[in-house]
């Protein structure tokens, strides 16, 4: 059973208008303006100008036949200073309220992410943001409460965080994301990569869990929605069949996925992380793990590629595993994308779906998935629109989806798509950054055609809990929301 069709967008990556209508600064505003922090030196002041052009963007989604849209709210647009005692910005509330109403009027279901990396700058300056567990949890819960109160009568699908691994590792370990903290003093003036990522990850898990508890206790009985979290993590396969490399592949999964998924779905951190980090990995109190365990109605899966894993790495932030795309015989795993970390390997998509279902036994939303065509940003528009490599990527993904359902019996829900970047472009819509004009690519046409062929028409969507109730031992249901 399938239901189309979801697209994806993050507030800082698309909205622009960073100083309009009372929005406060997020940690990305000043960070992106620092030389060398973004690939092409651009900041988020304009982005794809969706704060102004959102109606045109929704019309474009409608023309694609999109039935669901995942987007994130800007915390600092709703509470400019971020804190529980700070004023609410009614213009920010009204913007998102209008957006939600317009989606519903077009027959598009809103999937709302509360936080996609853009912590209010004021909270970072006030007490260190995610580094301060005692203060950040009540502030995030208060922000969540406002969103549930103002939008929950119409929003029935919530995500607390998008990719807490990226916040923790890239923001506080490598220093390449805001707020730019790392032990590497050539890159960052402040930070400790040996401790801060794990502190931040712990704060994110607890903030997520307490926001979910709030929703379930006070809002879900009347609003009847669902709430969860989106985690990033790519499939990992051993470089060869040696025991050390087989173990390394599991360590890679533990460090990227298990770090957050194991506490939520199994009730503890992975043993590998405990061994590797020792006392640097924060402990859960009995009261904390009681709140964390089971704090997601589904698994939100962001995935792009597959890595070959080699033992013997020294980087804790990568689980002490070395990654490569080059097989022992010298061949490449798949087609190389514009970004160095991504190759097309659809078999890995299927294997990851099955791994997550087997390990966590919970419905899966594939909340991000996409491909950046090599040098697409440097091509004339007409040439960029013929994105054959992206079409092949999605062709492989969709074939893997069908195989996972028909042959493997996995139970999953997919929302698949990615917002356009600047130099590195992922989206199925080309945005001319000078004119802000939108152009559908061949991949948009492929996706629309595929889902028209494979999806049931006019069939109401089910929540994962409703679908689970219908599961039989040999009859797994599939509910897909895909972009």
Which positions are catalytic?
368
Please choose, from the candidates 238, 205, 371, 363, the residue with its C-alpha nearest in 3D space to the C-alpha of residue 303: 371
155 CB neighbour count, 10 Å cutoff: 21
Is 186 buried (19+), middle (13-18) or exposed (0-12) by CB count in 10 A?
exposed
What tokens were used for 311? 């033992």
Q: Beta strands of 275-362 (E only): which ranges? A: 299-302, 306-311, 321-324, 335-336, 343-344
Is 313 buried (19+), middle (13-18) or exposed (0-12) by CB count in 10 A?
middle
Torsion angle, alpha carbons of 466, 470, 475, 477, to 10: -20
Cα(346)–Cα(271) distance, integer angstroms: 29
Q: How far is CA 264 from CA 17, 199, 231, 260, 352, in A?
A: 36, 17, 11, 7, 18
Cα(306)–Cα(235) distance, integer angstroms: 5
Are 2 and 454 in contact by the 8 Å Cβ rule? The answer is yes
Q: Which residue has the tokens 């119409």?
A: 154
What tokens were used for 20? 């309009």
| DSSP one-letter code for 107 | T
Residues in the chain: 483
Is 40 buried (19+), middle (13-18) or exposed (0-12) by CB count in 10 A?
exposed
Are 231 and 164 in contact by the 8 Å Cβ rule? The answer is yes
Q: Which residue has the tokens 């505003």?
A: 29
CA gyration radius, the chain: 21
Are 428 and 390 in contact by the 8 Å Cβ rule? The answer is yes
Are 387 and 376 in contact by the 8 Å Cβ rule? The answer is yes
Cis status of the peptide bond prior to 445, with omega within 30 of 0: no
Q: Beta strands of 375-428 (E only): which ranges? A: 413-414
Are 264 and 257 in contact by the 8 Å Cβ rule? The answer is no
Longest CA–CA span in the chain (Å) reads: 61
């Amino acid at each position: 059973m399938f239901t189309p069709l979801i697209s994806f967008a993050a507030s800082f990556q698309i909205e622009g208008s960073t100083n309009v209508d009372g929005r406060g600064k997020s940690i990305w505003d000043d960070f992106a303006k620092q030389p060398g922090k973004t690939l092409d030196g651009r900041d988020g002041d304009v982005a794809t100008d969706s704060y102004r052009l959102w109606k045109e963007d929704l019309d474009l989604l409608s023309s694609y036949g999109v039935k669901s849209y995942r987007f994130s709210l800007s915390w600092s647009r709703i509470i400019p200073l971020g804190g529980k005692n700070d004023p609410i910005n009614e213009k920010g509330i009204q913007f998102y309220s209008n957006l939600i109403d317009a989606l519903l009027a077009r027959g598009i279901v809103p999937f709302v992410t509360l936080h996609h990396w853009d912590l209010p700058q004021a909270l970072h300056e006030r007490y260190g943001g995610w580094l301060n567990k005692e203060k950040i949890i009540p502030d995030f819960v208060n922000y969540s409460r406002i969103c549930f109160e103002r939008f929950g009568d119409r929003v029935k699908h919530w995500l607390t965080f998008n990719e807490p691994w990226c916040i923790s590792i890239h923001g506080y370990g490598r220093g390449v994301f805001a707020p730019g903290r790392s032990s590497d003093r050539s890159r960052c003036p402040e930070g400790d990569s040996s401790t801060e990522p794990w502190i931040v990850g712990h704060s994110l898990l607890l903030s997520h869990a307490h926001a979910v508890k709030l929703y379930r206790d006070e809002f879900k009985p009347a609003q009847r929605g669902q709430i969860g979290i989106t985690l990033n993590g790519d499939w990992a396969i051993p470089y060869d069949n040696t025991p050390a490399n087989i173990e390394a592949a599991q360590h890679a999964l533990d460090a990227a996925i298990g770090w957050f998924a194991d506490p939520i779905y199994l009730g503890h951190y992975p043993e590998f992380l405990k061994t590797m980090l020792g006392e640097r990995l924060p402990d859960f109190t009995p009261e904390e793990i009681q709140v964390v365990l089971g704090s997601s109605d589904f698994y939100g899966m962001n995935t792009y590629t597959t890595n070959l894993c080699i033992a013997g790495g020294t980087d804790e932030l990568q689980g002490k595993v070395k990654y490569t795309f080059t097989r022992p015989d010298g061949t490449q795993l798949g087609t190389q994308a514009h970004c160095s970390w991504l190759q097309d390997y659809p078999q890995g998509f299927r294997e990851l779906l099955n791994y997550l279902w087997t390990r966590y036994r919970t419905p899966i939303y594939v909340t991000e998935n996409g491909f950046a065509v090599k040098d697409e940003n440097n091509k004339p528009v007409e040439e960029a629109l013929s994105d054959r490599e992206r079409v092949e990527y999605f062709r492989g993904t969709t074939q893997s989806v069908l195989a996972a359902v028909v042959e493997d019996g996995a139970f999953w829900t997919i929302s698949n798509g990615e917002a356009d970047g600047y130099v590195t472009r992922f989206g199925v819509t080309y945005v001319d950054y000078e004119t802000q004009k939108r152009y559908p690519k061949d991949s948009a046409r492929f996706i629309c055609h595929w889902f028209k062929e494979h999806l049931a028409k006019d069939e109401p969507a089910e929540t994962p809990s409703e679908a689970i109730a219908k599961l039989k031992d040999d009859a797994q249901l599939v509910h897909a929301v895909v972009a």
